Amino acid sequence: MKILVADLEGVFLPEIWINVAKKTGIEELKLTTRDISDYDVLMTRRLSILKENNLKIQDIKNVIASLEPLEGALDILNWIREESQIIVLSDTFEEFAKPLMVKLNYPTLLCHDLTIDKQGNITGYNIRINHQKKEAVNALKGLNYHVIAFGDSYNDIGMIQEANQGFFFNPPDSVVTDFPEIPVTRNYRELKTMISALLNA
């Protein structure tokens, strides 16, 4: 049996932190795992910026409420779910993703969560498990699934390499340069073609 796993932001949703950066005017919040491969370094800096600028969870939720899935994302996700099973593996947080899941017809999502104090300050983040994307793929393989994985960024490398078959979806040039051996799709048409070929192989 075959199963798909995929990243969320940059694949089906716009990057949440980039949109927070646009709304607040804080340029450094535009940095994502496309720019900084060490997730702990990235998140520690993000939380520091939020504290410095007195930004609370509601400020971020207000931005998230204005977001929509990438154009064509719901159609391709619905198509995938008709053809196979898919689990979305993301390094986002439940508090961020939950309002957007309704817009994607509630796919199965495995991610992390935040620590928030009574004043609404984000005081910490809680990783569900280290290398959760890679470990999820490994667990699915242990259940005798043939895993097909795709994502767009450095934090997707582990799951793509661990999967039976994996590829990029619309990655930045830096990621392609660093991992030239991994196949690339650039849009949902190419994604559909790739998935069809792998499911029918």
Tens-place pLDDT, residues 50-75: 999 999 999 999 998 899 999 999 99
Sequence ranges of the domains in the chain? 2-12+70-111+129-200
Catalytic site includes residue 7: yes
2-12+70-111+129-200 CATH fold? Rossmann fold (3.40.50)
CA distance 148 to 146: 7
Name the catalytic one among 7, 15, 95, 162: 7
Low-confidence ranges of the chain (pLDDT < 50): none
Q: What is the pTM of this model?
A: 0.91
Q: At what angle do helices 73-83 and 188-200 cross, to 10 degrees?
A: 10
Query: Is 156 annotated in the active site?
Result: no
pLDDT of residue 42: 86
CA-based max dimension of the chain? 53
- The set of residues, in sequence order, having a beta carbon less than 8 Å from that of 155 and lying 6+ positions away, is 7, 33, 37, 39, 91, 133
Which of the following is catalytic: 9, 91, 152, 162? 9
pLDDT at 32 (0 to 100): 80
